[in-house]
Amino acid sequence: MTQSYLESMLSEHEKIRYATRQHWFLLISSIFFEIILILIFLTVIVTVAVLQPQYAMISVAIGFVIILIPIVTMTRDILQWTNHQYIITNRRVIQLSGVIDKTVTDSSLEKVNDIKMTQSALGRIFDYGDIEILTASELGVNLFKRIEKPVEFKTALLNAKEKLESGENFTHGDIAIAGGASHLPALLAQLDELRQNGILTEAEFQNKKAQLLSRL
């Protein structure tokens, strides 16, 4: 469900470069209490059934109803963790959360000014950490807490931003817009064609045009 919802959000020619979620430590910590409760209830049910056979059916019935509560809350926590994703595309960084009601926060790669990664000693051992993205938008900062493989995420984000700035992310058919100064006339023509076809917005066209001309 998450993947199909995510794919429906992507614009034309937008592709996913990297996707991750919060570390499994957070999932374990959120469902630990429910697991303990389930084990306690099971122990009580078995104990009553063994010591008081005459009450076995009643204890099993009552225990089954009670044990449903931590099972339901644990299922909810698992679904929330599964549906909370951090995605890098060739155009933006997306934070997606929610099982039924979805919350989507995204930042254009062009507006990403700086990326800060924080890892504790435990985070380095188990490969999780915080990623703080400073942008030029009104929100200013996006903080992704305790995500899996933060080094890979940061590297993928930097690579996607570099490709966007160099023009490698935009394609028309199988023709990539990239190259040196000697190919500028052809690249400008390709950019203009992408704009006319509605693949590039006017702002994106002017931005890429300025970047290409700056190579002269």
| Domain regions of the chain by residue span | 2-22+84-166, 26-81, 171-213
Question: How confident is the model over 24-73, as pLDDT tens digits?
Answer: 888 888 888 888 988 888 888 888 878 887 777 887 788 788 888 888 89
Range name among 74-83, 86-95, 105-114, 164-173 with the lowest pLDDT average: 164-173
pLDDT band at 138 (very low <50, low <70, confident <90, very high): low
Domain covering 2-22+84-166, topology: PH-domain like (2.30.29)
> Of residues 180 and 85, which shows the higher confidence score?
85
pLDDT band at 152 (very low <50, low <70, confident <90, very high): very high
Percent of the chain with pLDDT over 70: 82
Confidence (pLDDT) at 55: 74
Q: Look over the chain and give the mean of its residue pLDDT values, rounded to a whole number.
A: 79
pLDDT at 80 over 70: yes
> Of residues 10 and 18, which shows the higher confidence score?
18
Question: How confident is the model over 154-206, as pLDDT tens digits?
Answer: 999 988 888 877 765 554 443 344 444 445 676 777 777 777 776 777 877 78
pLDDT band at 143 (very low <50, low <70, confident <90, very high): confident
What is the DSSP pairing of strand 128-135 with strand 175-176? unpaired
Is residue 46 within 8 Å of 113, Cβ to Cβ? no
Confidence (pLDDT) at 48: 80
Percentages (nearest 5) of helix, strand, coil residues in the chain: 55, 25, 20
Distances (CA, A) of 206 to 151, 192, 203, 210: 33, 10, 5, 6
The pair of three-digit structure tokens given for residue 104, joined into one six-digit string:
């989507």
pLDDT band at 150 (very low <50, low <70, confident <90, very high): very high
Q: Coil, strand or helix: which one is 138?
A: coil
Q: pTM of the predicted model, to two decimals?
A: 0.66
